[in-house]
Amino acid sequence: MTERPTLRRYMTRHSALDGLDPNLIFLIEDIASACRVIGNSLRNAAFEGNHGLVGDTNVQGEDQKKLDVVADETFARICENSPRLAALVSEEREEATWLKEPEEGDYLLYYDPLDGSSNIEVGLSVGSIFSICQVEKDGDRTLLKKGRAQVAAGYAIYGPAMMLVLTLGHGVDGFTCEYGTGDFRLTHPSMTVPAKTREFAINASRYRYWQSPVRRYVDECIAGTEGPRGEAFNMRWTASMVAEVHRILIRGGVFLYPQDTENAAKGGRLRLLYEANPMGAIIEQAGGAASTGTMPILDLMPDDFHQRVGVILGSADEVNRVAEYHAQDRAAG
């Protein structure tokens, strides 16, 4: 019978193999607990009066949903007592939350507590995204770090099954929450993204805003077998980055939410620290690529907690093609 170790068993094995810090194991277990509670809150939202809007906007200037607040508070409540967690950076909070002095902690947690929340009331998949970096030594309170500095990253997807997908820097593994015991058990070991794909994901209603390299890429995909690609492409758009990334990990694909003429002033749509960086780390660890269009996402030095960025990620051949079109566009001036 296929062994399906629990998340804890998996991480303690890693601890033996790779010297994984027990305090990082505790933090990831706390994150898994928070995701489990959020999953239950989503399922019971109709009975707990948690559908609808709070009536306020969040730091992003977006209408805050009740479940956005519930998910954020769940993450903070469950993770804040993690032994060596020093600070939290949340999509829902303008400022960082320092839990202890930097010298008293080892880890920083960046999270989007509920991604794709516009999908909740229409019964579609949503998720939570998290990224973990290490505290600088000598009391430095630096929180703005490149994506390459992440020591762990992952997401939970709340769909037909509840899954936790995790990278510790040695590949990507998927854990499914077993109904009944509530354990996250390894069901998708060594998840990898095929280099080639014929499936792209983009919000096509924004066509009029796209810059020429993106238009060129999508036009060629849509031209099909008679076009320059000589292949028929399929399109998906689920309005949840977590669901798009999960599909790409399962069967390949390329996801594009590029910087365009409408969102350029803000830097793009998706946030760097707690969306693009963790998802970029997962995709790269799974053998894919993650680009802003002009550089690898993980090499970008952030200048603000809530900085936004263009995102093109997934099957390496397609991401590299889009990046090449951007390079050709720049060279043409």
**Number of C-beta neighbours around residue 230 at 10 A:** 10
- Give the nearest distance from C-beta 217 to ligand AFP in angstroms: 17
The upper half-sphere exposure of residue 111, i.e. CA atoms within 13 Å in the direction of its Cβ, equals 32
Taking CB under 6 A as the criterion, which residues in 134-173 touch ligand AFP? Answer: none
| Candidate residues 39, 116, 174, 314; the one interacting with ligand AFP per rule CB under 6 A | 116
The answer to whether 182 and 175 are in contact (CB under 8 A) is no
Q: In this complex, which beta carbon is closest to ligand AFP, that of residue 117 or of residue 285?
A: 117
d(CA 316, CA 245): 13
Q: In this complex, which beta carbon is closest to ligand AFP, that of residue 82 or of residue 131?
A: 131
Residue bearing tokens 């995909």:
221
DSSP letter at 276 equals: I
The site that binds ligand AFP (CB under 6 A) totals a number of residues, namely 12
- Sequence length of the chain is 333
Taking CB under 6 A as the criterion, which residues in 237-296 touch ligand AFP? Answer: 239-241, 257, 269-270
**Contacting range for ligand AFP; rule: CB under 6 A; set: 44-52, 136-144, 178-186, 233-241:** 233-241
d(CA 132, CA 107): 7
**Strands (DSSP E) found in 107-149:** 107-115, 126-134
Q: What character string, x for contact with ligand AFP (CB under 6 A) and - otherwise, covers 38-77?
A: ------------------------x---------------
Tell whether residue 131 is a contact of ligand AFP (CB under 6 A).
no
Question: Quick check: helix, strand or coil at residue 197?
Answer: coil
**Number of C-beta neighbours around residue 333 at 10 A:** 4
Q: In this complex, which beta carbon is closest to ligand AFP, that of residue 25 or of residue 201?
A: 201
Residue bearing tokens 């014929």:
198
- Give the nearest distance from C-beta 185 to ligand AFP in angstroms: 26
Q: In this complex, which beta carbon is closest to ligand AFP, that of residue 62 or of residue 104?
A: 62
- Give the nearest distance from C-beta 272 to ligand AFP in angstroms: 12
Token duo for residue 207: 């066509």
Alpha carbon separation from 22 to 85, 133, 152 (Å, rounded): 12, 15, 13
Q: In this complex, which beta carbon is closest to ligand AFP, that of residue 84 or of residue 271?
A: 271
Strands 162-167 and 172-177, by their bridges, are antiparallel
Q: What character string, x for contact with ligand AFP (CB under 6 A) and - otherwise, covers 184-223?
A: -------------------x--------------------
Can you name the residues that pair with 60 across neighbouring β-strands?
none
- Give the nearest distance from C-beta 41 to ligand AFP in angstroms: 16
- Give the nearest distance from C-beta 127 to ligand AFP in angstroms: 8
d(CA 85, CA 135): 9
Q: Which residues contact 7 (CB under 8 A, 6 or more apart)?
A: 28, 29, 32, 164, 166, 175, 183, 184, 185, 186
- Give the nearest distance from C-beta 114 to ligand AFP in angstroms: 7
| Candidate residues 29, 30, 72, 115; the one interacting with ligand AFP per rule CB under 6 A | 115
Q: In this complex, which beta carbon is closest to ligand AFP, that of residue 7 or of residue 129?
A: 129
Q: Which residue is nearest to ligand AFP (CB)?
A: 241
- Contact positions vs ligand AFP (CB under 6 A): 62, 115-118, 203, 239-241, 257, 269-270
